[in-house]
Structure 1
Amino acid sequence: MIFDEFSIKTLIRPVVDFPSPGVIFRDITPLLQSPKALRMVADSLVQRYVESDFSHIGALDARGFIIGSILAYELNRPLILFRKQGKLPADVLTESYRTEYGEAFLEVHADSLCEGDSVLLIDDLIATGGTFIAAAQLVRRMGAQVYEAAAVIDLPELGGSCKLQDMGIPTFTLTAFGLNDR
């Protein structure tokens, strides 16, 4: 199936003034509710990474878990969960980061990766890059490296993709929205 960026974009719902006034939240729920669209997203990402040389998929809380699980299954790679603080039951590493909305903390099980591992990080979107940067810092603290940061959506005007690239982390997204795109 050929990826159709226009069809995917029409299934990403803009929610104005959520979670705070002036923000346009990009909701992928309608995309997830469309079997054809979800298949297009999954197939596009699988095709991009099927012959790539990384050892793990790192899924970011929470919508990254959905796409990350599909990729881990299809690519036969271990899935690492990067969770919001207080959600993991064993020993964790914690990293603070800034979001569009304030400060937050990301955690990963301390035994998730080994030196020399390489991780594809996946989430639904790249905004300010805070969550991806925190995940990348956690990956590096375990002696591993980030292969690439991937998402369905990029919000380039918020600068996250540029920040990641400045850290030496390549990025890939399927589509992008400007701040005023509806």
Structure 2
Amino acid sequence: MSGTTDGIILQDYIRNIPDFPKPGIQFKDITPLLAHPAALRAAVERLAAPFADRKVDAIAAAEARGFLFAAPMALMLGVGLVPIRKPGKLPYTTVSAEYALEYGTDRLEMHSDALSPGHRILIVDDVLATGGTMKACCDLVRDAGAEVVACAFLLELGFLNGRAKLAPTEVFSVLSY
């Protein structure tokens, strides 16, 4: 979905950076989109639109770029925002989930009282790549007894097959590469 009803072609604001962060990688840089108010608004509106008529109690988002889209989406949908962060960044009691990296593991944390059983949560991030970060976010939400309504992304790098790691969870992406 590129959605040009508002005249904004989001792909025009995604910059390709060859060989970053290492040779052979074609990095999709969203900073031009973030710098352009109309493109940023269009991106947030397109991310939120499929969930406007669905029951969502809160949006959860992984730091840091997920916050850039999740906060305005939460305002648009009239729901709260649950930050999911790297270890040691949240001030209250936390729960955590570990996930695999290319060389090792990492961990994400959420406040232990952020969600309640039965809450319906939309999880948002900027990019779906291999799916490891988002799978950890889903695990945190589900371990709290809440339901993952869907995972939403501005960009999906389909060739990395991250969607498969999230199955059977619904995945929505505004742009796919």
What's the TM-score once normalised by structure 2's chain length? 0.91
Q: Does residue 21 of the first structure (1) align with residue 23 of the second (2)?
A: yes
Amino acid at match of 2:172: F
- Report the aligned-residue RMSD: 1.9
Distance 1:6 1:45 in 2: 14
Aligned equivalent of 1:7: 9
Residue 128 of structure 1: which of 117, 127, 130 is its match? 130
Distance 2:107 2:23 in 1: 23
Aligned equivalent of 1:175: 175
Alignment of 1:11-160 (within 5 A): 11-100=13-102, 102-160=104-162
Q: Which runs of 5+ in 2 are unaligned?
A: none
8 Å contact kept, 1:8–1:31? yes
Q: CA deviation at 1:17?
A: 2.4
Q: Report the CA distance shift for 1:100/1:31 in structure 2 as closer, same or farther (over 3 A).
A: farther
Q: Report the CA distance shift for 1:2/1:10 in structure 2 as closer, same or farther (over 3 A).
A: closer
Q: CA deviation at 1:100?
A: 4.7
Distance 1:117 1:98 in 2: 27
Q: CA deviation at 1:98?
A: 1.9
Distance 2:62 2:118 in 1: 21
8 Å contact kept, 1:99–1:128? no
Q: Secondary structure of the residue that 1:106 maps to in structure 2?
A: strand
Q: CA deviation at 1:18?
A: 2.1
8 Å contact kept, 2:8–2:38? no
Distance 1:3 1:105 in 2: 39
Amino acid at match of 1:16: P
Distance 1:39 1:6 in 2: 10
8 Å contact kept, 1:5–1:175? no
Q: CA deviation at 1:6?
A: 8.1
8 Å contact kept, 1:96–1:105? yes
Q: Which runs of 5+ in 1 are unaligned?
A: 178-182
